[in-house]
Chain A
Amino acid sequence: MFWQLLLTGLAIGSIYALVALGFVLIYKASGCLNFAQGEFLLLGAYVALTLVTTYKVPFLPAVILTLAVAALAGLVVERLVLRPLIGEPVISVIMVTLGLSALMRGIFQALWGTDTRVFPPIFPQEPVSLGGVSVSAVYLWSLGLAVLLLLLLSLFFKFTTTGIVMRAVADDQQAALSVGISVKRVFGITWAIAAVVAAVGGILLGNINGVNASLASLGLKVLPVVILGGLESVPGAVVGGFVIGLIESFVGGYLDPLVGGGLREVVPFVILLLVLLVRPYGLFGEEIIERV
């Protein structure tokens, strides 16, 4: 039981990590809290599902198309919704992302209804046996793909000029402008990447749980994750994702049967409160560099 809970916890955690990463990237670049992150996840899940079931596109091309659609959606949202707000107070920007979330949810409901839809089986159905522990393959695939994507992103931020420029903008916007960096373009790219990682999370989660509007509530779960990791920290988002995933999994496995269920939904938010009380900057909150 332990190993099984561990693996499912890691798999779900890796998806949380992806979605939280998108949230943190936007926050770092522009100081905006994107409360529509969960809807981008839903967008990915629905678009991929529609391509696969309605249009019979094979899974891999469907995923690639979905990611392109997500990137485009991210760019469009940044251009039309966020850019006109540059320089406005943070609270207005937050309200706008809340409005965006409601709007997207409404559109999805109109397009895809409220029923839960399921992906046709894509990953192998029979459970995989790992040293005596049997886990369903979809969890392993999710874990593997999410970790791969996280690695690729960290290489991107470390070694490509665009990645370095994105970190530069997160660090000091005025200095970025002064050396000719197009901050607007960087905001656009950031939203595109955030939408893409959320869409990947949506596709993976959709394969595990099926797709309906409640998937978007994962956007809310991103909050405990990023508060735990530190709003400004990319490694924090990743670690926070795994930690929350594991805690949920273990609480669901060991404690829920004792109390009759429901704890796993609550625990992340209890953690959120505790972290806010004890370490408001999170485990990995931005180190403010002070020279001696």
Chain B
Amino acid sequence: MLELNNVEVIYDRVVLVLKGLSLKVPPHSIVALLGANGAGKTTTLKAISGLLQVERGKVTDGQVIFQGEDITNWDPEKVSRKGIFHVLEGRHVFEHLTVEENLLAATCLRRDRQGIKEDLEKVYSYFPRLKELRRKIAGYLSGGEQQMLAIGRALMSRPHLVLLDEPSLGLSPLLVSEIFHIVKEINRRERTTILVVEQNARVALSVADYAYVMENGRIVLEGEPEKLRENEDVREFYLGLTPEGRKSYREVKHYKRRKRWLS
């Protein structure tokens, strides 16, 4: 469904961030893209959704193919019209709008009032908490509620492909597994294809059908979640496990930049 072929991204004409990245997302699947802070995960998603443009970034080589069509460097607007929606890192809800207004704002490409109503109910059925909060100003919601709203907002546009950027960021472990559980449900019931970016490898591998690990702008490892979980490096760096079990704090400190994997 989505294919990145040797994609190279440069910011401000000089900063080379993606260095020939390739990955595939089959229809109706969940694919996880793992990697440490600064690896280029967010950049990868922005290269797909077209949001690179507003940050003066550009795909300078390779192609982004969606449903057989070359969408490299398209306008974000045009990409959305193809059915690709990007849930940004840090949620980015419309803070001064109510929950329901946030959901409605995402329906601007649609004209079918009845369908919009049904989709509102559908989002509320996945996230009952949002229904209770529908008249509340989104800026005052908790981090977990904002994440639910951000995902719900993407659902409102009946997406074919959702790009999820670090939904676990700053949330409690309980909330993280609840949100990933719902993501899995959405994937199963709506048949929505999902590309999820995570630093939290544990939870991402638990729902993904396939996963890539990236480092420094390149894919360094890929495979089924079971296979990756067996991999020594993944166990050590991304899951914080060694043959003797959890690493002691002292040893871990060495990998400080990967600290968040251990939470």
Contacts and interface: CB of A to CB of B under 8 A. Distances in A.
Interface in A103-140: none
A291 B94 contact: no
A171 B88 CA distance: 15
B65 interface: no
Interface in B132-160: 137, 139-143, 153-154, 156-157
Interface string B76-104: 11001100011110001111110001101
B101 A291 contact: no
Contact of A291 (B76, B77, B140): B140
Given A171-B96, A174-B92, A180 B80 contact: yes
Given A174-B54, A175-B88, A289-B137, A180 B157 contact: yes
Interface stretch (B7-15, B106-114, B181-189): B106-114
B76 A167 contact: no
Contact of B95 (A165, A176, A177, A289): A289
A177 B76 contact: yes
Main secondary structure of the interface of B (DSSP, over half): mixed
B43 interface: no
B109 to A, nearest CB: 5
B54 A179 contact: no
Contacts of A165: 105, 108
A175 B93 contact: yes
B137 A179 contact: no
B137 A180 contact: no
Given A171-B96, A289-B140, A177 B105 contact: no
A156 B87 CA distance: 28
Contact of A180 (B56, B81, B87): B81
Nearest to A165: B108
Contacts of B143: 291
A178 B106 CA distance: 9
Given A289-B140, A291-B139, A177 B77 contact: yes
A172 B104 contact: no
Interface of A: 87, 161-162, 164-165, 167-168, 170-184, 289, 291
15 contacts: A161-B104, A161-B105, A165-B105, A167-B101, A167-B105, A171-B95, A171-B97, A172-B92, A172-B93, A172-B94, A177-B54, A179-B153, A181-B105, A289-B95, A289-B137
Nearest 8 pairs of A and B residues by beta carbon: A180-B80, A289-B139, A175-B92, A179-B106, A168-B105, A171-B94, A177-B76, A178-B86
